[in-house]
Amino acid sequence: MKKIIVTGGAGFIGSNLLNYLVPLQPDTLFINLDNLTYAANLHSLKGIEGAPNYKFEKTDISNPEAVAETFRRYGPDCVIHLAAESHVDRSIADPDAFMRTNIMGTFYLLEACRAHWKKDGDNLFHHVSTDEVYGSLGENGLFTEETRYDPSSPYSAAKAASDHIVKAYNRTYGLPIKLSNCSNNYGPRQFPEKLIPLMILNALEGKPLPIYGKGTNVRDWLYVLDHCEAIWLVVQKGRVGETYNIGGNSEKKNIDVVRSICKVLSEETGKPLAALEGLITYVADRPGHDLRYAIDASKISGELGWRPKETFESGLRKTIRWYLENNEWIEKVKTGEYRKWIAKNYGDRS
Ligand code: NAD
Ligand code: DAU
């Protein structure tokens, strides 16, 4: 039986990936390696927790002995690496954990692979990364796989460092690696510190919808399941040593995203649109706020035939319906820690 460690499998993208892969690949054992930080939610894995080809291992990737022990126990053939501190605003407020997990954690995982895998083995370390490593675009242009790295935040700088280390392990030690750099994901099971779920939950509770700066920053939105399918395609068919950019070809200004959320919420709940839009509040900008991200996904579409299935409109409606139907999940993440973060980030921002 093939054994794949998925790190960060209790987080947003990781849990969607495991919910997709565990039933799809019954002959592969998936080991979810996650330290269960504030961003994790085991409730996201309820549908697969009893599956015979799924195991959960609580392991901190920034602890090299713990990582080595988990590798000894399972002898994985492949690692799909998603575990990270992932929120830009938190990296600005408190960068320490970002350096430990995103840089050192990746390094310890690579060391474990190097120690366990034979030179001619059928192995793969797939590194899930972000388009934020490329920095900011102006009004025109797209990020390609050749775009120079120019990260702006402690989060994206730590992810950029991890990308470089992964590539160095391929060049220096011949470790079989692949990378994918993706644009902004949205969808079910996303922690409500990120723009789309934060706005959905605030709007439902009649709380302000805080827009940083003028709301004209642009992000390229991709439905999370489209990202999961792209990752699996690259793992299976992508070329070793290569990077694949993944994006939704769906650029939106933040203010337009928030207006779309208000519109769909109004249609789905019957709340008056004007009342929802009246909650929009402009607040102090994010320091170092990248203006625009947009992905050229022609490499993955040309080589592997990948295309996103959802449009922003269809994906957003699915996402809003999911949050309306999953109150138990929402209650699980709205812990004291969540309330503390909301007070810290938005308390004196206006
Ligand atoms: P997330 O914050 O929702 O989940 C991260 C997961 O990693 C959590 O389950 C957490 O418990 C785990 N984790 C954190 N530190 C750990 C540690 N030291 N040891 C073990 N586990 C640890 O993140 P996400 O949005 O699902 O992102 C997953 C990956 O995808 C990240 O590497 C991120 O950089 C990348 N990415 C995210 C997006 C996006 O829009 N969310 C886009 C492109 C790339
Ligand atoms: O581009 C990929 C990246 O997308 C991932 O690597 C990150 O892990 C992920 O968090 C995301 O980063 P962003 O910073 O783009 O996402 P966030 O949801 O935090 O913010 C999206 C945009 O909305 C950004 O321009 C900031 C703005 N924003 C965000 C919040 C939370 C607001 O205007 N108000 C807010 O309250």
List residues with catalytic annotation: 131-132, 155
Question: Residue 81's pLDDT is what?
Answer: 98
Beta strands in the chain (DSSP E): 2-7, 28-34, 54-58, 78-81, 124-130, 177-182, 184-186, 209-212, 218-223, 243-246, 251-253, 280-283
Ligand nearest to the CA of 219: 2
For ligand 2, whether the C-beta of 90 sits within 6 Å is no
User: Is the distance from CB of 312 to CB of 250 less than 8 angstroms?
Assistant: yes
Distance 120 CA to ligand 1 centre (A): 30
CB-based contacts of 70, cutoff 8 Å, min separation 6: 5, 31, 33, 57, 59, 112
For ligand 2, whether the C-beta of 86 sits within 6 Å is yes
H-type helices in 4-153, by residue range? 12-24, 64-74, 88-93, 96-98, 106-116
Q: Which of 13, 85, 101, 133 to mutate to test the pocket of ligand 1 (most atoms within 8 A of CB)?
A: 13
Ligand nearest to the CA of 103: 1
For ligand 2, whether the C-beta of 293 sits within 6 Å is yes
Q: Is 105 exposed, middle or buried (0-12, 13-18, 19+ CB in 10 A)?
A: buried
Question: Residue 349's pLDDT is what?
Answer: 83
Nearest atom, ligand 1, residue 87 CA: 2
Distance 212 CA to ligand 2 centre (A): 10
Question: Residue 350's pLDDT is what?
Answer: 67
Ligand nearest to the CA of 63: 1
What DSSP character marks residue 139? Answer: S
The span from the CA of 177 to the CA of 46, in Å, is 31
CB-based contacts of 265, cutoff 8 Å, min separation 6: 200, 203, 204, 271, 276, 320
pLDDT tens digits for range 46-87: 999 999 999 999 999 999 999 999 999 999 999 999 999 999
For ligand 2, atom 6, which residue shows the shortest CA distance? 130
Q: Which of 13, 136, 219 to mutate to test the pocket of ligand 2 (most atoms within 8 A of CB)?
A: 219
For ligand 2, atom 29, which residue shows the shortest CA distance? 195
For ligand 2, whether the C-beta of 183 sits within 6 Å is yes
List the beta bridge partners of residue 246. 182
* Fold classification of 2-257+263-283+292-346 (topology level): Rossmann fold (3.40.50)
For ligand 1, atom 13, which residue shows the shortest CA distance? 83
Domain positions in the chain are: 2-257+263-283+292-346
User: Is the distance from CB of 261 to CB of 320 less than 8 angstroms?
Assistant: yes
Nearest atom, ligand 2, residue 132 CA: 1
The model's pTM: 0.98
Mean pLDDT, consecutive 10-residue stretches, the chain (350 aa), reads 97 98 98 97 96 98 98 98 98 98 98 96 97 97 98 98 98 98 98 98 97 98 98 98 97 98 98 98 98 98 98 98 96 89 89
The span from the CA of 287 to the CA of 284, in Å, is 9
Question: Residue 149's pLDDT is what?
Answer: 98
Closest CA to 90 of 288, 339, 344, 281: 344
Nearest atom, ligand 1, residue 100 CA: 18
pLDDT tens digits for range 203-216: 999 999 999 999 99
